[in-house]
Amino acid sequence: MSQTKKVTDLRSALAVLRKFDDELIETDEPVDPSAELSGVYRYIGAHGTVMRPTRIGPAMLFNRIKGYTDMRVLIGLLASRKRVARLLDTTPDKLAFLLKDAVSTPISPVVIPQENAVCQEVVHLASDPDFSILNILPAPTNTPEDAGPYFTLGMCYAADPHTDDHDITIHRLCVQNRDEISMYFVPGRHLDVFRQKAEEDGAPLPISISIGVDPAIEIGACFEPPTTPLGFDELSVAGSLRKQPVELCQCLTVNARAIANAEVVIEGELIPNYRVREDQNTNSGKAMPEFPGYTGQAQQMVPVIKVKAITHRRHPILQTCIGPSDEHTNMAGIPTEASILQLVERALPGFVQNVHCPSPGTGKYLAVLQVKKRLPNDEGRQRQAALLAFSAFSELKHVILVDDDVDIFDLNDVIWAMTTRYQGDISTVFIPGVRCHPLDPSSDPAFSYSVRDHGIACKTIFDCTVPFTMKGQFRRSEFMEVEISRFLPDNFKY
């Protein structure tokens, strides 16, 4: 039986990781969720765009949280591409192909009877006068200057109030008081479309936030348009990855569905025409560290979820991540790779060999495309592939093109190609004035005269491929193939 069939929820995912020596650390040392927990993991395995020193390392499960008697916190589950591959029963270089196939063969979720929903083993109702979000859940802060405690890995699930189409996405969720959570939407997100429709009707939007789920759900939830258009339920991607539908249950206090085997579920409603300042409790002007590696600015007017209940499994595990860590890069980048592969394969069959959205590119801003020029008329197709990549993912800022003899998962090899197969004046294509992503601090008129509004960027193609007519002059040195194991100690890994 493959690992894929064994993983159905967070706990079975952790059981897979425990089979390996280098994938999971558990500690009983008490930890403060306020900045200390993230401060520890910054050194252990955050990597990504986190300020150095940091590293790729194992996930960590903190079994004792200060101030909480029956709550554990997991961080870094997806902060290693190798670990993501193990949890999805594939290899790191094949992840994009696996996701591409999954989004093309969706399996819709199903609703199960509530008596089978383990996420509702323990119920806390907001109508209880002693109810408080932070008395139940140890929402962490990434740094001491955060606007407040955040839920960073909540699977936010809601329905279009006019069509009943469902969507699941991840948003930054800041605890504002005993029963309110602010929700920041980057413009264009589908859940915000649902919220706006409900608000125009003068009605709240019921929503569930499932935390601590099968990692296939967390990866699948990060697909974006045009790969998953409005009305596409990304839970069906996870269903395809696991070859069985994701199980949902009806919420107890709102007309919404939640992931039935989640560790924690927050039930609530997005209130129409109600906004708060994200940092109203700290006045720091800061939100939290975001994927580009900088702390985002606190938003002045963000929508609010009125929490109606919190349910959870017995002895629950709250899952969190560091905003700029590789956990974010992998969740954002691997679906982006799949989206690019899907579109370029339709237009240029067999030309693009693989795609990598690497850690320093944040999973959103940079893609490396490996192409194979077989015929003279393939010259120029590499730049067409780059244009298609920008179409496949609108937030992409840079594309680096390399030949098929370059390892796109080794940035040393990519930089070597840029050094020896690239001339800035003829190998660079600038596409100025294109909408990109508002969290890129350089996409601002103060940074460049070419940027007319915040969030607009100059998209750039770096063509580091060898002209077809010169391929013979750029052959890499070939070495003798040998059986090296007979020269090495038995325990030497290579």
> Would you say how long the chain is, in residues?
494
Cα angle vertex 58, ends 400, 234, to 5°?
Answer: 60
Q: Which of 269, 290, 337, 395 is catalytic?
A: 290
Element (H, E) at 400: strand 398-403
- The C-alpha atoms of residue 179 and residue 161 are separated, in whole angstroms, by 23
Is residue 406 within 8 Å of 397, Cβ to Cβ?
no
Is residue 335 within 8 Å of 224, Cβ to Cβ?
yes
| 325-359: b (≥16 Cβ within 10 Å) or e | bbbbbbbbbbbbbbbbbbbbeeebeebbebbbbbb
| 288-313: b (≥16 Cβ within 10 Å) or e | bbbbbebbbbbbeebbbbbbbbbbbb
- The C-alpha atoms of residue 110 and residue 25 are separated, in whole angstroms, by 34
Name the phi and psi angles at 104, rounded to 5: -90, -15
- The C-alpha atoms of residue 354 and residue 367 are separated, in whole angstroms, by 10
Q: What are 435-444's contacts with CB under 8 Å, separation 24+? A: 435/394, 436/365, 436/394, 436/395, 436/396, 436/397, 437/186, 437/364, 437/365, 437/395, 437/397, 438/186, 438/187, 439/186, 439/290, 439/291, 439/292, 439/294, 439/296, 440/292, 440/365, 440/397, 441/292, 441/294
Amino acid at 464: C
Is 234 annotated in the active site? no
The alpha carbon of 149 is separated from its chain's Cα centroid by a whole number of angstroms, namely 20
- The C-alpha atoms of residue 224 and residue 187 are separated, in whole angstroms, by 12
Question: CA nearest 311: which of 271, 272, 270, 254?
Answer: 254
Residues with a catalytic annotation lie at 290
